[in-house]
Amino acid sequence: MNENKDILLTLRCTNKLCIKMLGKVNNRGILITESSRSGSWIKTEMEVGVVECKKCGNRVEWSAQNNFHPVAKTVPVQINKRNGGT
């Protein structure tokens, strides 16, 4: 299974001045983060947890059940038609 095909969206810092990428979310709602420690890359997968932005220090909570909706929710657009008007 190709991991890149499973990625549906990117989680970014919620600070509008920062917007650093914090991780990626796969099709199961699992947040995948990567960080380097002592020159080695560490990959973390979480369903529930807190991610701290290394750029600004902002903390973003993640819950696969509460934050992830695999089916996009659409709002129907209502079109108002005028009768006999221009």
The tokens 């509460």 sit on which residue? 66
85 assigned to some structural domain: no
19 assigned to some structural domain: yes
Separation of alpha carbons 35 and 41, rounded Å: 6
50 bridge partner residues: 61
In the chain, how many domains are there? 1
pLDDT tens-digit readout, 27-74: 888 999 988 878 888 999 999 888 899 999 999 888 887 765 544 443
Q: In which domain, by residue range, is 26 found?
A: 3-67
43 assigned to some structural domain: yes
pLDDT at 24: 92
59 assigned to some structural domain: yes
pLDDT tens-digit readout, 3-14: 566 888 888 998
Question: Global pTM?
Answer: 0.64
80 assigned to some structural domain: no
